[in-house]
Structure 1
Amino acid sequence: MKTYLILFFLCCRAAAVKHSLKYYITGTSGITKIPGFVVVAMIDGIQYGYCDDNMKEIEPKQDWIKKLFQKKPEHLKDHSKRCLNNQQLFKTYMGVFKQRLNQTEDSHVLQSVSGCEWDDESHDVKGINQYGYDGEDFISLDLQTLTWITPKTQAVVIKHLWDTDKARLEFIKNLYMSVCPEYLKYYVGYGKSFLQRTEHPSVSLLQKTPSSLVSCHATGFYPDRADVFWRKDGEEIHEGVEKGQILPNHDGTFQMSSELNVSLIKHEHWKKYDCVFQLSELKEEILTPLNKTEIQTNWVSPSVFPPVVGGAVGGVLVLVLGGALYCYWRKRNDFQPVRGDRDKDNSLSG
Structure 2
Amino acid sequence: MQLFIFLLLLEIHGTVGLTRSLRYFYTSSSGVSNFPEFVAVGLVDDVQMIHYDSNTEKAEFKQQWMEKAAEDDPQYLSRQTNRLMNTQQIFKGNIDTLKQRFNQTGGVHINQMMYGCEWDDETTVVNSYHQYGYDGEDFLLFDLKTQTWIAPVMQAVITKHEWDSDRSLSDDLRKYHTKLCPEWLKKYVNYGRSSLMRTELPSVSLLQKSSSSPVTCHATGFYPDRAEMVWRKDGVELHEGVDPGEILTNHDGTFQMSVDLDLSSAIHEDWSRYICVFQLFGVNEDIVTKLDKAAIRTNEGSSVFPAGVVVRIMGILLLLTVCFSGVFIWRRKYKELY
What's the C-alpha RMSD, in Å, of the aligned pairs? 2.9
Per-residue CA deviation, residues 280-308 of structure 1 (Å, 9 max, x unaligned), is 21011111122232222455469xxxxxx
Indicate which of 318, 322, 343 corresponds to 2:317: 322
User: Is the counterpart of residue 243 in structure 1 residue 244 in structure 2?
Assistant: yes
Equivalent AA in structure 2 for residue 176 of structure 1: H
CA distance in 1, matches of 2:139, 2:265: 41
Alpha-carbon contact 2:169-2:332 (below 8 Å) kept: no
Residue 180 to residue 233, structure 1, CA distance change in 2 (3 Å):
same
Partner of residue 4, structure 2: none
Partner of residue 156, structure 2: 155
TM score, norm. by length of structure 1: 0.78
What is the Cα deviation at residue 264 of structure 1?
Answer: 4.2
TM score, norm. by length of structure 2: 0.81
What is the Cα deviation at residue 43 of structure 1?
Answer: 0.4
Per-residue CA deviation, residues 190-247 of structure 1 (Å, 9 max, x unaligned), is 2222221111111122333444433222222112221112212211112222222223
Partner of residue 5, structure 1: none
CA distance in 1, matches of 2:203, 2:118: 29
What is the Cα deviation at residue 162 of structure 1?
Answer: 2.3
Instruction: Note the 1:1-350 alignment, pairs <5 A.
Output: 16-300=17-301, 319=314, 321-325=316-320, 343-344=330-331
Alpha-carbon contact 2:249-2:255 (below 8 Å) kept: yes
CA distance in 1, matches of 2:261, 2:312: 26
Residue 274 to residue 326, structure 1, CA distance change in 2 (3 Å):
farther
Q: Which runs of 5+ in 1 are unaligned?
A: 1-14, 303-314, 330-338
Alpha-carbon contact 2:209-2:302 (below 8 Å) kept: no
Equivalent AA in structure 1 for residue 331 of structure 2: K
Per-residue CA deviation, residues 71-126 of structure 1 (Å, 9 max, x unaligned), is 43233233323332332232122122222222222101222221112222333322
Partner of residue 10, structure 2: none
What is the Cα deviation at residue 21 of structure 1?
Answer: 0.9
Residue 137 to residue 300, structure 1, CA distance change in 2 (3 Å):
same
Per-residue CA deviation, residues 145-187 of structure 1 (Å, 9 max, x unaligned), is 1122233233233323322222212222222322222211111
Equivalent AA in structure 1 for residue 320 of structure 2: L
Tell me the SS of whatever aligns to 1:66. helix
Alpha-carbon contact 2:204-2:220 (below 8 Å) kept: yes
Equivalent AA in structure 2 for residue 52 of structure 1: D
What is the Cα deviation at residue 345 of structure 1?
Answer: 6.6
Taking only the aligned residue pairs, the percentage that are identical comes to: 48
Tell me the SS of whatever aligns to 1:131. strand
Residue 214 to residue 185, structure 1, CA distance change in 2 (3 Å):
same
Alpha-carbon contact 1:46-1:248 (below 8 Å) kept: no
Alpha-carbon contact 2:249-2:311 (below 8 Å) kept: no
CA distance in 1, matches of 2:35, 2:278: 37
CA distance in 1, matches of 2:76, 2:187: 11
CA distance in 1, matches of 2:291, 2:114: 40
CA distance in 1, matches of 2:333, 2:100: 29
